[in-house]
Amino acid sequence: MKITSALATISAFLSLAAAGQAASSGPRFYGDAPDDHHPWAVHDGNRPQPKIVTPGTFSSPEQPGKPPSDAIVLFDGTDLSKWESSNGSPAKWLVTNGVMQVAPGSGEIRTKDKFADCQLHIEWAAPQEVKGDSQGRGNSGIFLMGLLEIQVLDSYNNVTYADGHAGAYYGISPPMANAVRPPGVFQVYDIVFRRPIYKDGKPVDPGYVTVFVNGVLVQDHTMLEGPGTHMTRTKAGPFPAKGPISLQDHGNTMRFRNIWYRELPPRATDGGTDGFLTTEATLAKRKEIAASIRQDASKLKNAGDPLPEMLRLMESLVYEKEEAAMQKAEQMAVQYVDSLKKLPAEKLGSKRDEVRNMRDTFRYLAKSKIIPDSFDPKVALEQIIKDQGWDKKK
């Protein structure tokens, strides 16, 4: 779309918004229309706004940061109320000075709540005094959904098998870099986890994990191949719908702090209704959007000023060419053109911008195959504009 035309469309939207009429939250009749895989137009003003999240603050080795406003805080330094032992009894790890510490031999702990797709933030420190080597030194682990271990290890100047280093998807994928700080210093993990999605026993999405260690990307959307475990090659397969986050007791006095979790919206493969959808899911969503816009249009009914209702109704057709809406929109468009033709010449002049905007709307609808190029009201408006010389530069 040419800039001038785009600006006209935007200004038409702004004038509606300024008049306090129900309007979409952005331009309409603007970017490419919805198609078989996208329920929304490009730059669609009806597409929901992202939710507001107040960001937290970053951590330093000395000081934990603050979680973002929508985080589920799993450990804020005060107690283990969100955690339990693997047999359901109270968690036996120690809490002192704002950190939790493994009580070796007491076993792993897990969250009482169960989760699935997430952004997980967790900070840990290995004992300052180095004891042991390889997997015996500063070992713990974060088990996503209680299954898949993201390795926690004092990898600082410590040689071990590559798929067992800090930030490894244990037994499967080594971290792309060893980015750990020295023992005793807090390390920061940020993990994005997407569980495998199976439908009728068949994989539709293998699931992925992304990991940053101290801000360094070490797993880049790594495809899941099962839980990953010691010595055994695991196979891809379905995960449960939800599971806990578990922390490993590997016999070392590892410390943890500032653990929080953000739930992620579902992917298109998991019932999500945004993104690249199947044709079936796209059409269902488009029907839903169209119905909501038609309902909105009905609230704009105003015999003295039918334009807002007509525009909103036409907007609904972009998502679904519902017959009754199409007929009504056409009828209103014909009436609109008739009303223009009845105007005395001196009054028609004041309609220049409105008519050109309406013509642009018809052009958009024709380009999007919602009305034919030969749509009578469109042809009539093109003629009025030509006769009046309204497209010529002033």
Give me the residues that bind Mg ion (CB under 5 A), please.
139, 141, 248
Closest to Mg ion by CB, 139 vs 357, is 139
Closest to Mg ion by CB, 139 vs 219, is 139
Closest to Mg ion by CB, 254 vs 293, is 254
Which candidate, 289, 366, 376, places its Cα nearest to that of 335? 376
CB of 153 to Mg ion, least distance (A): 6
Residue showing the smallest CB distance to Mg ion in the complex? 141
CB of 81 to Mg ion, least distance (A): 25
CB of 170 to Mg ion, least distance (A): 6
CB atoms within 10 A of CB 28: 25
Closest to Mg ion by CB, 141 vs 183, is 141
CB of 197 to Mg ion, least distance (A): 27
Closest to Mg ion by CB, 39 vs 141, is 141
Closest to Mg ion by CB, 149 vs 360, is 149
CB of 224 to Mg ion, least distance (A): 18
CB of 105 to Mg ion, least distance (A): 16
Give DSSP secondary structure letters for 71-97.
-EEEE-SS--TTEEETTSSBP--EEET
Backbone angles phi, psi at 294, to 5 degrees: -60, -40
Kindly state the helix (H) or strand (E) to which residue 377 belongs, with its residue range.
helix 376-388
- The Cα 325–Cα 309 span in angstroms is 11
3-state secondary structure 283-318: HHHHHHHHHHHHHHHHCCCCCCCCHHHHHHHHHHHH
- The Cα 382–Cα 80 span in angstroms is 71
Residues in the chain: 394
Which residues 6+ apart lie within 8 Å of 71 measured at CB?
A: 56, 121, 260, 261, 262
